[in-house]
Structure 1
Amino acid sequence: MSQPAMINRYRWYELVGIYGGIFVFLTFILAPFVEGFLVSLKPLGRLFSSPYRFWPENGSFEAYRTMWVSVPGFARYIFNSFFISIIVTAVVLALVVPAAYAFARFKFRGSGALLAAFLAVNMFSGAVLLIPLFRLMRSFGVLNTYFAMIVPGVAFLIPSAIWLLRTYMMRIPRELDEAAFVDGASHFYTLRRVILPIAMPGITVVAITTFIGSYAQQFIFALTFNSKSEYMPLPVGLFAYFGRQEVVWNELMAASFVGIAPAVIVIFFLQRYLVSGLTAGAVKQ
């Protein structure tokens, strides 16, 4: 007789506890998004009505239409956020892939201290370095440009990307490198033709996390280093409009959901690569 699956060996109260914990966790994660979406459907005059109604009475998608008129340049803000995130992701990958390979394969003096320094960078908030970065950007004359928002984004996302991809590459057998070296391959050729195809799931994970991180951290850099509307990303564009007058909450929520749509679309189409990359990195020997 075949052995029962491990999942069937849980007692009924253990299953109740597991699924109950998952339900509570998802409730706390999804509740703000659900409430924000419902606010975008409510008429402005009924947002703070009492008693509270979970499902909006006379709800409609009118705010999704009017916010395009209420927020001048809204489409431009979305383009700026998407453009900045794409450039940041491309630059980070170009720098991180060879760096992660070097840290995973070579032992050189100061490598441990350098990795520790990369880790320490993630412990500092970007706000701590705003004044030095502002002075540096002003000295180079790149304020009010895309460059002023791309460079800080790259600098703050590289450390975590190196750690993540280095861990993945360390799981790739060294025998593959040695076999390539026996055939006369250089380190660069080995990285390009041997390691990269195998590490592609891990690189995809790094690309997705970098894109999301860049899309999420644009506010503080753009608010400090840019004052021109043509370069504003979405968070600052919404803040510039809704932060200087009465807050129209339903239109703000509608604009927020439309604004995060590009990131959601990217994650939706790449989610299978994200899952395969995480699981592949967990089982490689």
Structure 2
Amino acid sequence: MALFRKDDTAMIDRYRWWEIVGIYLGIFAFLFFLLSPFIEGFLVSLKPLSQLFSSPYTFWPENGSFAAYFDMWKTVPGFARYIFNSFFISIVSTCIVLLLVVPAAYAFARFRFAGMGLVLGAFLAVSMFSGAVLLIPLFRLMRTLGLLNTYWAMIIPGAAFLIPSAIWLLRTYMMRIPTELNEAAYMDGASQFYTFRRVILPIARPGIVVVAIVTFIGAYSQQFIFALTFNSKTEYMPLPIGLYAFFGKQEVIWNELMAASFVGILPALVIIFFLQRHLVGGLTAGAVKQ
């Protein structure tokens, strides 16, 4: 008789019925608090502006429509340009960050050199600073370089603030890749660059995708303060400035503001959805010698 018997029962079937109910109630509560701001924002975009200030306040819109999604383009005529600018700035910033972070994270994960801990600590300290603290030095730097009123005035500072946290995130992932792969490649006569390009990069693809998503979201959301400080031309303004245009002197057009917010985040959602498809594909790619 075996001392231990393997239990093939699914994990969810090992709980009692009230435990399963508690698990699903906890999941529902978590999703409710996570998604309720988005649901409320979407419902606000469907309400007429007069209904938003009615008393008592009604959660579900009466005679709701998608009129705000059409009127917003008239309220802010150049809104499509704002969306394009944010998308372009975020894409370029993400590419710059990945080009610098991927080899840097690999170096910090695989090699040991004097002062490495100090450099990593400096990266961590830099990521704790707010962009508002360095606005004046950055403005003088952008003016000296002649980058004011250009896309680069928002791309360079944005990428600089995103690089430290990206290095820490990707370095942690690359440290989990077995060093035996490097040793096996070395025994086969592969150089460091060949090992990095043909062995490590395919395995690190899920981590790189995560860093790309986090960087893109960060670049997409941090453009407001840089745009106000380093830019005065409408043709270079990003999405947050376009959303700010819905705040009038007398009132805020809340329904159109919510509609513009949902329209503005669509490019980011599409990019994130596209990148997530590559997460699973790179989990085991490159682990076997071709």
Q: TM-score, normalised by structure 1?
A: 0.92
Q: In the comparison of the two structures, how many residue pairs are matched?
A: 280
Contact residue 229 and residue 237 of structure 1 kept, 8 A: no
- Secondary structure of 1:25's match? helix
Alignment of 1:19-168 (within 5 A): 19-168=24-173
Distance 1:88 1:220 in 2: 16
Distance 1:126 1:94 in 2: 22
User: How far does the alpha carbon of each residue in 1:96-140 deviate from its partner, in whole angstroms, 9 at most, with x for none?
Assistant: 010011001000011111111111222222111112111211121
214-223 or 90-99: bigger deviation: 214-223
Relative to structure 1, the CA distance from residue 48 to residue 241 in structure 2 (aligned partners, 3 Å threshold; closer, same or farther) is closer
Runs of 4+ in 1 over 4 A off after TM superposition: 274-277
Contact residue 205 and residue 273 of structure 1 kept, 8 A: no
Question: In structure 2, which of residues 183, 188, 208 is the aligned counterpart of residue 183 of structure 1?
Answer: 188
1:231 matched to 2:241? The reply is: no
113-122 or 34-43: bigger deviation: 113-122
Contact residue 82 and residue 242 of structure 2 kept, 8 A: yes
Letter in structure 1 aligned against 2:242 = G
Report the alpha carbon displacement of residue 65 of structure 1 after superposing the two structures with TM: 0.5
Report the alpha carbon displacement of residue 275 of structure 1 after superposing the two structures with TM: 6.5
Distance 2:185 2:166 in 1: 26
Relative to structure 1, the CA distance from residue 50 to residue 169 in structure 2 (aligned partners, 3 Å threshold; closer, same or farther) is same
Question: Which residue of the partner structure matches residue 169 of structure 1?
Answer: 174
Unpaired stretches in structure 1, ≥5 consecutive residues? none
Letter in structure 2 aligned against 1:56 = P
9-18 or 194-203: bigger deviation: 9-18
Letter in structure 2 aligned against 1:135 = R
Distance 2:79 2:214 in 1: 25
Letter in structure 1 aligned against 2:27 = I
- RMSD of Structure 2 on Structure 1 (CA): 2.0
Distance 2:273 2:202 in 1: 23
Contact residue 205 and residue 279 of structure 2 kept, 8 A: no
Task: Name the one with the larger helix percent.
Answer: 1
Relative to structure 1, the CA distance from residue 219 to residue 20 in structure 2 (aligned partners, 3 Å threshold; closer, same or farther) is same
Report the alpha carbon displacement of residue 215 of structure 1 after superposing the two structures with TM: 0.6
Q: TM-score, normalised by structure 2?
A: 0.90
User: How far does the alpha carbon of each residue in 1:5-53 deviate from its partner, in whole angstroms, 9 at most, with x for none?
Assistant: 2222223333333222222221111111111111111111111112222
Letter in structure 2 aligned against 1:271 = Q
Relative to structure 1, the CA distance from residue 19 to residue 275 in structure 2 (aligned partners, 3 Å threshold; closer, same or farther) is farther
Contact residue 77 and residue 232 of structure 1 kept, 8 A: yes
Letter in structure 2 aligned against 1:8 = D
Contact residue 47 and residue 61 of structure 2 kept, 8 A: yes
Relative to structure 1, the CA distance from residue 2 to residue 170 in structure 2 (aligned partners, 3 Å threshold; closer, same or farther) is closer
User: How far does the alpha carbon of each residue in 1:142-192 deviate from its partner, in whole angstroms, 9 at most, with x for none?
Assistant: 111100100111111111111111111111121221222233332222211
Report the alpha carbon displacement of residue 216 of structure 1 after superposing the two structures with TM: 1.1
The share of aligned pairs that are identical, in percent, is: 77
Report the alpha carbon displacement of residue 4 of structure 1 after superposing the two structures with TM: 2.1
User: How far does the alpha carbon of each residue in 1:198-220 deviate from its partner, in whole angstroms, 9 at most, with x for none?
Assistant: 11111111111111111111111
1:264 matched to 2:269? The reply is: yes
Report the alpha carbon displacement of residue 243 of structure 1 after superposing the two structures with TM: 4.9
